[in-house]
Amino acid sequence: MIHDSYDDAYIRAILNSVKTIAMVGASPNNVRPSYFAFKYLSERGYDMIPVNPGQVGKSLVGKPFVAALADIPRPVDMVDVFRASDRAGAIVAEALRLSPLPKVIWMQLGVRDDAAAAEAEARGVKVVMNRCPKIEYGRLSSEINWMGVNSRTLSARRAPVPTVGMRLSLDRASVSGAATPAADRAARTSTDET
My answer on whether 69 and 158 are in the same domain is no
My answer on whether 123 and 163 are in the same domain is no
- Residue-level pLDDT at 182: 45
Q: pLDDT exceeding 90 applies to what percent of the chain?
A: 69
Q: Minimum mean pLDDT among 57-71, 83-97, 99-113, 148-162: which range?
A: 148-162
Q: Rounded mean pLDDT of 36-54?
A: 95
Reference 123, options 86, 89, 85, 97; nearest CA is 97
Higher pLDDT, 2 or 164: 2
- End residue of a domain, out of 88, 116, 136: 136
151 within a domain of the structure (yes/no) = yes
My answer on whether 183 and 108 are in the same domain is no
My answer on whether 18 and 69 are in the same domain is yes
| Domain with 44 in it | 8-136
My answer on whether 105 and 148 are in the same domain is no
Number of domains in the chain: 2
My answer on whether 103 and 188 are in the same domain is no
1 within a domain of the structure (yes/no) = no
SS (H, E, C) 136-186: HHHHHHCHHHHHCCCCCCCCCCCCCCCCCCCCCCCCCCCCCCCCHHHHHHH
CA 38/CA 46 separation, integer angstroms: 9
Residue 194 has pLDDT above 60, yes or no: no
Residue 98 has pLDDT above 60, yes or no: yes
Q: What is the pLDDT of residues 134-190, one digit of tens each?
A: 999 988 887 765 554 444 555 555 555 555 555 555 654 444 444 444 444 444 544
My answer on whether 110 and 153 are in the same domain is no
61 within a domain of the structure (yes/no) = yes
My answer on whether 179 and 121 are in the same domain is no
Cβ(23)–Cβ(49) below 8 Å: yes
Averaged pLDDT score across all residues of the chain = 83
Residue 46 has pLDDT above 90, yes or no: yes
What is the pLDDT confidence band of residue 72, given thresholds at 50, 70 and 90? very high
CA 126/CA 54 separation, integer angstroms: 28
My answer on whether 60 and 155 are in the same domain is no
Q: What is the pLDDT of residues 25-40, one digit of tens each?
A: 999 999 999 999 999 9
- Residue-level pLDDT at 153: 53
My answer on whether 106 and 165 are in the same domain is no
My answer on whether 109 and 181 are in the same domain is no
